[in-house]
Amino acid sequence: MASRTVRRSAVLGPLALALLTGPVHAAEGRADAGASSAVLPAPDPAALGGRLRTALAQGAPGAMARIDDHRLSPDDHATVYKATEGIADRGTKEPVNTDDRFRIGSVTKTFSAVVLLQLAAEGRVRLDDPVGHYLPGLLPDARITVRHLLSHSSGLYDYTSDLFARTVPGFEAVRTRVFTYRELLGLSLRRPLTQAPGAGYAYSNTNYVVAGLLIEKLTGHPVRTEYENRIIKPLRLGDTFYVHPGMKIPGRHTRGYLTPDEARAPLVDATEQTVSWAQSAGALISSTRDLNTFLSALLGGRLLPAARLAEMRRWIPAGTGQAYGLGLRRRDLSCGVSVYGHTGAVQGYYTYAFTSEDGRRSLTALANASNNGRVHLTMLSTLEPAFCGKQAKAQGAAVLPYPAGEDDFAQ
């Protein structure tokens, strides 16, 4: 078993580094700045490490978590907590490291939503316009708006349900394949809408495929360029990449292992893939530090004007104790604290990236496993010791499941 580490240190954190670049987008005021900062319990690093060890016992080769807490220092030196368990590579037995890069799945959706909300702030798109105003004839229902895409309320069928009906064969069929956005949309449009547009929350990767098409139409640039120019470079996210259609993760990284549907079947190394089946819905690569920086900047009001951040946080119900805005999840924890961010599942990786209401405490956790419901729920429970500390309820009571259909595939 690889050596375990649970560490705490005080360093000049990524929040401070982001401030050195100046504001990414002129803010009209910090959304909910300072809310609940006095009452957020201290993290419980020992309990956090215990959750990671449980994930290993349930089948994950490795697991890691990083907390960046800027609440304790007036000069913005972060208190950083790091916890690691297990291995990054089953061949070399190299231990996981919180500096490793990994595939972040649907945390990509938050990046895509930020880009579109910045474009809305610039007057280049209106959230309540029909998508057909910008992409005529693309969708089967003229009532579907940009807001419906970003809030998963369009009713567009999630094509990944068909692609990955059989987990490993489905993955191997697309591992090296390169799709266009319109090809992915075509897979969705073989099926009727699942509901009337705006009827409620119904998670679908198709929404963010169309969002990618819209970004490219509005800007004339690939989504990679917009991620880099609007988010990655201004925030100095040195571990964050959009390499599609490339298959490799650049630099030091944790390998990802897919669990087959068949009991006791060997894990499948899914590290190298195009992720072309997801693209703007789930193809970014990042690290624990970069995701904490990103979410701190977002909820801290430095990526969007206050009015647009408020739009992002217009919630619709998305299951017990959770809600969805525009590319942003809210989860309500056992101690009464709510946290904001996204989760991501892509073959081989489960990612959990959340921050406090004011953006001053952020957690990113990763297991290099997927298609393993027990690991998924255990890793989701890392939010409890990170944000509720010793006030967290027992693990079993604290974890709220996802709505049906969301426990895998770029969730």
Q: Which of 106, 188, 338, 362 is catalytic?
A: 106
Q: What angle do CA 157, 377, 328 make, to 5 degrees?
A: 50
> Residue 322's beta-bridge partner residues?
331
User: Is the pTM higher than 0.95?
Assistant: no
DSSP secondary structure of 41-81: PPP-HHHHHHHHHHHHHTT-SEEEEEEEE-SS-TT-EEEEE
Q: Of the ranges 8-12, 320-324, 376-380, which one carries the lowest mean pLDDT score?
A: 8-12
The predicted pLDDT at position 71 comes to: 78
Q: For residues 367 and 255, is the Cβ–Cβ distance under 8 A? A: no
Among 68, 76, 73, 66, which residue's Cα sits nearest to residue 16?
Answer: 76
Q: Which two tokens stand for residue 256?
A: 């990802």
Please report, for residues 21, 189, 273, the alpha-carbon distance to residue 299 in angstroms, rounded to integers and kept in the order given. Answer: 17, 35, 31
Strand order in the sheet with 369-370: 268-269, 257-258, 369-370
Residue 379 has pLDDT above 90, yes or no: yes
H or E, element range at 251? none
Q: Which residues of 167-180 are buried (b: 16+ CB within 10 A; e: fewer)?
A: bbebbeebbeeebe
Burial class (CB in 10 A: 0-12, 13-18, 19+), 337: buried
Res. 88 pLDDT band, cuts 50 70 90: very high
Active-site residue flag, 106: yes
Q: Of the ranges 15-19, 125-129, 337-341, 365-369, which one carries the lowest mean pLDDT score?
A: 15-19
Q: How far apart are CA 157 and CA 28, in angstroms?
A: 37
User: Residue 304 gets which letter from DSSP?
Assistant: S
Q: For residues 102 and 287, is the Cβ–Cβ distance under 8 A? A: yes
Res. 28 pLDDT band, cuts 50 70 90: very low
Q: How far apart are CA 207 and CA 198, in angstroms?
A: 13
Residue type, 263: A
Q: How far apart are CA 252 and CA 77, in angstroms?
A: 26
Mean pLDDT for 324-332 is 98
Q: Show the DSSP H helices in 265-405 as ranges.
A: 288-299, 306-312, 373-380, 383-387, 395-398
Q: How far apart are CA 114 and CA 111, in angstroms?
A: 5
Q: Of the ranges 49-63, 69-83, 365-379, which one carries the lowest mean pLDDT score?
A: 69-83
Mean pLDDT for 360-373 is 98
Residue 401 has pLDDT above 90, yes or no: no
Q: Is the dihedral of CA 7, 239, 364, 253 positive or negative?
A: negative
DSSP secondary structure of 374-399: HHHHHHHTTHHHHHTGGGPPPHHHH-
Average pLDDT, the chain: 89
Taken as a whole, the chain contains a residue count of 411
Q: Which two tokens stand for residue 195?
A: 């509901």
